[in-house]
Amino acid sequence: MMTRHSKHHGPIGIFDSGVGGLSVLREVHRQLPAEDLVYIADQAHVPYGNRSREEVFGFSAGIVRYLLKMQVKLVTIACNTASAVALTDLRAKYPSLLFVGMEPAVKPAAEETSTGVVGVLATPATFQGDLYASTVERFAKGVKILQDTCPGLVKQIEAGQISSQETREILQRALTPMLEEGVDEIVMGCSHYPFVIPLIKEIVGEGVEVIDPAPAVARQVERLLNEYDLRKGKQEKAEVSFYTTGKTERLDNLLQTLLGRESKSMGLNWVGENLRER
Ligand code: DGL
């Protein structure tokens, strides 16, 4: 493993239970176009949101071990659920590795709201985590927080259904009660959800802000690379590679649907607690 203090030009590792983290990869690539990126989608196990802490921690740790073998210089946990469950312990386990995690952007929403009502869409595991509880406790005093887990939404997005009637109905069920309570800020607390922001905007209309944390996550990646002098030279072309523990054709189709990207992804298998190339 490389230490924080060595000059190292490996890729940035980014992972999620599935394609949600692509909303973060898209921003990291936009803000840091020279950087090589390795994306791992654990589609054999998606969704993570209803799984036990032990399971999600085991998957996250296995992915990080694999990324370390690929000599990554920084790991972005592009998944609120995995961050809620595993970020603190992974930092303790790998003190010399740089991590960027995600948590629902309650703080900016609480600062911006004028109605005092904020909606948060995230998975059950994210809502149950200590990270979320402490964020709400610290930053949302006096603000009414409405939460919804949007059952079935991750599955719809994993199926590429970002504008279907069923997806719209899931969102309507979540958002209608929030609108009735006067919500004016809605936080995407799951990295899959930014892919349905156009649909969310159609439902909530003007005057309701929808917060996608991906740009802030990418800025944090950039800050850390600058701080540890880990930026790659601009002259070379960046390599962006995609891996899945599910079917590669499925991920390739989703890369096209969600990012408009023509890519051939590579397959990984879980062998016990570890990932192996197919
Ligand atoms: N994209 C993930 C998140 O940010 C996980 C969704 C899931 O697998 O349930 O929480």
Domain at 234, CATH number: 3.40.50.1860
148 and 172 share one domain: yes
Asked, for residue 1, whether it belongs to a domain, the answer is: no
Asked, for residue 2, whether it belongs to a domain, the answer is: no
150 given a catalytic annotation: no
> 156 is in which domain, residue-wise?
106-212
What three-state secondary structure class fits 186?
strand
Ligand 1 mean position, distance from CA 229 (Å): 31
Last residue of a domain, one of 180, 212, 244: 212
Last residue of a domain, one of 171, 197, 212: 212
248 and 170 share one domain: no
The number of domains in the chain is 2
98 and 112 share one domain: no
Q: How far apart are CA 14 and CA 63, in angstroms?
A: 10
120 and 73 share one domain: no
Of 25, 28, 123, residue with least CA distance to 80: 123
119 and 255 share one domain: no
Q: How far apart are CA 203 and CA 157, in angstroms?
A: 17
Q: How far apart are CA 112 and CA 127, in angstroms?
A: 21
22 and 34 share one domain: yes
Q: How far apart are CA 222 and CA 45, in angstroms?
A: 29
Tell me which residue has tokens 């958002």. Answer: 175
23 contacts: CB under 8 Å, gap ≥ 6: 78, 191, 192, 194, 195, 212, 214
54 and 189 share one domain: no
Q: pLDDT in tens for each of the 278 residues of the chain?
A: 444 444 457 999 999 999 999 999 999 999 999 999 999 999 999 999 999 999 999 999 999 999 999 999 999 999 999 999 999 999 999 999 999 999 999 999 999 999 999 999 999 999 999 999 999 999 999 999 999 999 999 999 999 999 999 999 999 999 999 999 999 999 999 999 999 999 999 999 999 999 999 999 999 999 999 999 999 877 677 999 999 999 999 999 999 999 999 999 999 999 999 999 99
Residue 225 CA: distances (Å) to CA of 41, 75, 112, 216, 272: 23, 11, 29, 14, 33
128 and 199 share one domain: yes
Residues touching ligand 1 (Cβ under 6 Å) are: 16-18, 20, 46-49, 79-81, 123, 126, 154, 190-192
Asked, for residue 35, whether it belongs to a domain, the answer is: yes
Q: For 114, phi and psi rounded to 5 degrees? A: -105, -20
Q: How far apart are CA 267 and CA 277, in angstroms?
A: 6
Catalytic residue among 79, 170, 221, 275: 79
219 and 98 share one domain: yes
Query: Which of 190, 195, 245, 254 is the best mutation target for the ligand 1 pocket, counting ligand atoms within 8 Å of the beta carbon and taking the most?
Result: 190
Ligand 1 atom with the shortest distance to the CA of 50: 9
160 and 222 share one domain: no
Asked, for residue 179, whether it belongs to a domain, the answer is: yes
118 and 201 share one domain: yes
204 and 114 share one domain: yes
Asked, for residue 70, whether it belongs to a domain, the answer is: yes
Asked, for residue 234, whether it belongs to a domain, the answer is: yes
User: For residue 162, what pLDDT is reported?
Assistant: 98
Q: For 238, phi and psi rounded to 5 degrees? A: -75, 145
Whether 275 and 266 have beta carbons less than 8 Å apart is answered as no
Last residue of a domain, one of 161, 195, 212: 212
Angle between helices 197-204 and 165-180 (to 10 degrees): 50
